[in-house]
Chains A and B, each alone.
Chain A
Amino acid sequence: MARLNVNGVVREVDAEPDTPLLWVIREQIGLTGTKYGCGIAQCGACTVHIDGAAVRACSLPLSAVEPGQKIVTIEGLAPGADHPVQQAWAELDVPQCGFCQPGMIMASAALLAQNPRPSEAEIRQEITNICRCGTYNRVLAGIKRAAERGQSG
C-alpha cells in the first residue's frame, strides 16, 4: 500500500510499485480526467502537477512519488473549474475533441505559475503537448489571456 496526496486528499492505493502514476490515478483512484495518450511522455495528455510542477504521469512510477508530495489533477486544479486558464479556455472555445485538453490546461497552468508573463516564444517552447485536432493557436491565445488576467487580478 502506498499513500498518495491527490487533490488534497490522502489515499491508500494498492498497486505494484512500478505502476505509472497515470494508471494509479485513473484506475486505483478513479480520476479519469488525466488521459492516456502515448505512455512514453511524448504527448502530455497525462500531465498533472506534483508540488506545483507539470509532470507527465505516464512515465513516473508510483515508487518515485514521495509520501509528502502533493499531486493535483485536472479535477483538483481549481474549485468550480475557475482557474484563469480554464476561464480563458471557455471564453475562446479552445477544445475540439478535448481529449488532450486536461493535459494542455495543466501544462499551461504550471507554466503560468512559474512564469506569470511568458513571451510567445516561451509559450511555444514550453507547451509541447500534442493536439491532433489542431487547437494550438487557441491554446496560445488562451495562455496569453490567462496571463493578462493573472497580472490584472
Chain B
Amino acid sequence: MSIDIRAPRPSRRAVLAGAGLFSLGFHIPFAAQAATLDAAPAAPEVNAWVVVKPDETVVIRIARSEMGQGTLTGLAQLVAEELDCDWSRVTTEYPSPGQNLARKRVWGDYSTGGSRGVRDSHEYVRKGGAAARTMLVAAAAKGWGVPAAECRVERGVITHGPSGRSTTYGAVAAEAAKIEPPKDVVLKDPKDWTIAGKPLKRLDTLPKLDGSQVYGIDLKLPGLLNAAIRDCPVTGGSVKSFDAAAVSGMPGVKRVVQVGDSAVAVVADTFWRAKTALDALPIVWDEGPNAQVSSETIAATLREGLDAEQAFVGNKAGDVAGALKGAAKVVEAVYGVPFQNHATMEPMNATALWTAERCEVWTPTQNGEAALAATADAAGLPATACEVYKIHLGGGFGRRGATHDWVRQAVLIAKELPGTPVKLIWTREEDMTHGRYHPVTQCRMRAALDKDGNLTGLHMRISGQSILASVAPQRMVEGRDPVTFQGLNPGGPEAAIGYTIPNILVDHAMRNPHILPGFWRGVNLNPNAIYLECFMDELAHAAGQDPLAFRLKLMGNHPKHRAVLEAVAEKIGWDSKPPEGVYRGICQTMGFGSYVAGAAEVSVSDKGELKIHRIVAATDPGHAVNPQQIDAQVAGSFVYGLSAALYGACTVKDGRIEQTNFDSYPVMRMDAMPAVETILMPSGGFWGGVGEPTIAVAAPAVLNAVFAATGKRVRQLPLKDTDLRRA
C-alpha cells in the first residue's frame, strides 16, 4: 500500500477527506427479524439519519448500498462529523426502500452507482448529522433550563460551560426526538473536520473475516426452498417446451416452473438439488431472431457506423473537415473494445416471499428503490404492499443497479408457491451468459497535425452501443445518449475533455446489437479514455514529440487535468531514464467529477510476455472523505481496468455469449498485480467520485507503455489477442 496525500495548499494542514465512492451500504435486517416489516427501533430516532441508544450507541442510517467501495463508512463519517459523536460507538443500518416510500423519500435516492454514493448525498447527510446535534444539545439545554448556546459537545458528551454540568447523547436522545428540527444548520468547514477526511478503518470489516457477514446468497428463512434457473441462451428467444416429468422424481425437487417467456426454473429443498435437476431437464428453445448474430456480424455493423452520415454530436468546435484538409499530416487509427461481464464474485440472487396480499424480497442491490419497483411489478401488487430488504452485496460494479432482472425472476417463481420463501441463485454460467455487458464500441480517430506537429483538428467517431437506449431511454436527449461522450464533453463538472483543440468533432453513430448493455464500472469513460489517450500517444510519436510535452501544450486551459498528469509524471520519473528493459506510458482523463491520471512501467520479454512493474495514479476528487479507502479504490480500479484490458472479452456466437466461467473469462490474479502508488491531491471546492474514474486510466497507461516497449499499437482489446513479440 502506498499513498501520497497532498493538501490543497501548504497552509492548509488538514487533508480534505471524502470518499466519493462507487457504492455504499451497510448491515442487514436479519432474515427472521426483517420479516417483521415495521420492527420499531429500540430507541427513538433523533431524526431520519440518527438514532442514539441509551447505551450511547449511535446508529447512523445509510440509504446507499455498500458493495465494497467503502461508501457506508464514508457516509457515516460525514454524518458523525457534524453530529460530533464518539466514532467508536457508531454503527449503521439500512432503512428499507419500503420505509423510504412510506416516509416520502426522507432518505432521498437509494441508487448507488456512477460514483455518486458520497458526492450526491454528502450535503444532506451532513445536514442530517448537524440537525441531530442541534436537537440533542437543545434537549440537554432545555432540561437544564440554560441557553443552548452555552453548551458544547465533544464525542457525544454535552457540557454546559458556565455550570460545568454534563450529560450524554444517550441520556437526552428520547427528549431530543421531541424537539422541533432546526430549519437550517451551518455545516463545518472541511478544514475543521476530525472524523471525515481521516483514513479511518471501515465499519464493516470484522464480519468479513470470520464468515459471519451475510450476503444475499447466504440468507436463511424458515421453510426456505431454493431455485436454479436457465434463461434462453439467446437474448430475445423463448421457451418452446420442457419436460418437467423427466426430473420431478429427482431428490428434493418440488416444482418445475416456467419463468416469463424465456426461462425455466427448478425449485428444490437445496440449491444443489435444484441445479442438478435443472441440468437434467430437457428444454427446447425457440432461439428467436438473434440466433445468427456473431461477434463478426456485430463488428461489421459497427464498422459501417464509422463512416455513416448520421451521427449524434457530443462535442463540436471549429471546422474539423477544414483542418484535416489543410493538415501537414493526417493521422488515423481505428480502436475497439469488446463486451465485458461484471463478474461480481457473488452471482445474482434474490429471495422472494409472495402471497396474494404482499410480496417481500431480500436481495443484494445497488438500488433498493428500483428493486422495490421491480418487485411490485413482477408481483402484480402496489409498491406499498411490497418490501425489499437490502442484503450485503458480494460486488456490484453496476450489474446490481439499473436492471433487476433476477429480482423479477425470483418473484415470478415465488408466485408459483404462495407463502413459501424461495431463494433463486444464478450459477456462474448463468451469470456469465446473461449479464448486462459493458457496451461494445469502435472508434475511428482522425487528426490533423500542422507542419510544427501541433494538433489542429480531431475527429472521434464512436460507433456502437448505447447503454441508455436499452437501460434508461427516458434519459436520452433527442435520441442522443449523453453518457456515450463521457470524458469527451466540451466542459462541465462531470466528465470534460482535458485538451483545447481548435477544431474538434466527437460524434456517435448508434448501433445497438441484441446483447444487452449495462453500466459496467467506469462505463463509457473506459473506452473513451483508451481511444483518446492511446491516440494522443500516437500523435505525439507522429509529431516526433514527447507524449507528456505534446499533451501539456494542449492543457493550458485545463489546470486540474494538467495537475494530476504532472503529478504522475513527476512521481514515475518521466524526465529520467527508466531501468534497463522497462518502458513507460502515461495518460489522464476526467470522469465522475474527478480528475485522474496514470503512469505505468512495463517490460515485455522476448516471448512477448508482458509484466507490469509499477503503476502511479493521481486523483483529484475535490474533497477526500477517507484517504485510505480512496487508496483501496485506486488499487482496485487497476485490477478491474487491467482485467478488461489484458484478458476480458465476451464474444458472441450463434447469438449467445461464448464465455461461461472464469476459465474462459480470465481476470487478473495476484501474480499479475503490479505495485500501485496512489497520489491523492484533493484541491477542494467540488465533490468527485473515486470508485470508478481511475479504471479509465489503467488501460491507456499500460498500452502506451507496451508501445514504448514493443513498437506495437494494441488498438483492439483485449491485449491477449495481440502477439507482443518484437517483429
Contact = CB atoms under 8 A, between A and B. Distances in A.
Interface string A103-129: 001000000000000000001110111
Contacts of B347: 36-37
A99 B70 contact: no
Interface in B62-112: 67-70
Given A130-B345, A136-B639, A137-B675, 15 more contacts: A35-B345, A36-B217, A37-B346, A37-B428, A40-B428, A42-B663, A93-B628, A98-B68, A98-B205, A124-B673, A128-B671, A137-B1, A137-B635, A137-B673, A138-B632
B155 interface: no
A134 to B, nearest CB: 3
A94 B205 CA distance: 8
A63 interface: no
Interface residues of A, number: 60
B394 interface: yes
Interface residues of B, number: 65
B211 interface: yes
Contacts of B528: none
A132 B667 contact: yes
Contacts of A123: 670
Residue of B211, B394, B675 with most partner-chain A CB within 10 A: B211
Contacts of A33: 210-212
A98 B671 contact: no
15 contacts: A15-B270, A20-B272, A32-B218, A33-B212, A38-B428, A77-B210, A93-B628, A93-B629, A102-B211, A124-B673, A130-B345, A130-B662, A131-B639, A132-B639, A136-B635
Contacts of B636: 96, 133-135
A128 B670 contact: yes
A2 interface: no
A133 B673 contact: no
Contacts, number: 181
Contact of A23 (B206, B207, B220, B272): B272
Given A35-B346, A101-B208, A133-B395, A139 B670 contact: yes
B161 interface: no
B217 A93 contact: no
Residue of A31, A35, A129 with most partner-chain B CB within 10 A: A35
Given A27-B270, A93-B628, A37 B345 contact: yes
B201 interface: yes
A105 B209 contact: yes
Contacts of B271: 23, 27
Contacts of B211: 31-34, 73-75, 102
A71 to B, nearest CB: 14
Contacts of A90: 205-206, 209
A75 B1 CA distance: 28
A33 B662 CA distance: 21
Contact of A39 (B220, B428, B676): B428
Nearest to B212: A33
Contact of B395 (A36, A75, A77, A97): A97
Given A38-B662, A42-B663, A81-B209, A134 B395 contact: no
A123 B218 CA distance: 30
B345 A74 contact: no
B640 interface: yes
B427 interface: yes
A86 B67 contact: no
A16 interface: yes
A42 B662 contact: yes
Given A39-B428, A97-B393, A137-B676, A125 B628 contact: no
Residue of B69, B208, B346, B663 with most partner-chain A CB within 10 A: B208
B210 A81 contact: yes
Contact of B632 (A23, A30, A135): A135
Nearest to A73: B211
B343 interface: yes
A23 B226 CA distance: 12
Contacts of B213: 98
A143 B228 CA distance: 37
Interface in B368-411: 392-397
A43 interface: yes
Nearest to A104: B670
A128 B672 CA distance: 10
A19 B213 CA distance: 25
A105 B208 CA distance: 10
